[in-house]
Amino acid sequence: MLIKWTEDLSVGHETLDQEHQKWIAILNDFYQGLKDGKSKEKLIELVVAMLDYTKYHFASEEKYMKSINFPDFDEHKEKHDFYVNKITEFHDKIKEGKMILSLEVTNFLKTWLINHIKGTDQNYARFANNI
């Protein structure tokens, strides 16, 4: 297991917390696939699943931030766009055979996700608690 859900990852919003947990599960599956030596095709499927779920979750989170008139929405969305672009870039390079899936890629995805939830996402959580 690469990431374990802990309460310090909670943003205090049940749906978004559940989505973060699902996202962590997908990343853990990807990591396990790497460790188990899954085929390139299977790993690409996991990258696609991660990319699809990331887009779904970000749309959900952005809708929520708009609903509470979160003042740092644009800055937060830029960080989402960066991550989607990075996963898309990984996917394209892997598919073209220009990149090998590795723990380095996995660690980037993990580090970004944890830092984003514990840092950036906590900003809208604090804002929502003060409305």
Digit-coded pLDDT (tens) for 105-122: 888 889 999 999 999 999
Using one digit for the tens of pLDDT, what is the confidence trace for 85-94? 999 988 888 8
Q: At what angle do helices 103-115 and 73-95 cross, to 10 degrees?
A: 170
Q: Cα separation of 23 and 18, whole Å?
A: 9
Using one digit for the tens of pLDDT, what is the confidence trace for 12-21? 999 999 999 9
Q: What does pTM read for this prediction? A: 0.90
Q: Which domains does the chain have, with CATH numbers?
A: 12-21+40-129 (1.20.120.50)
Higher per-residue confidence, 25 vs 1? 25
Q: Is the dihedral of CA 30, 99, 114, 15 positive or negative?
A: negative
pLDDT score recorded for residue 20:
96
pLDDT score recorded for residue 6:
94
Q: Cα separation of 113 and 68, whole Å?
A: 23
Helix (H, G, I), strand (E, B) or coil at 131: coil
Chain centroid, CA 113 distance in Å = 5
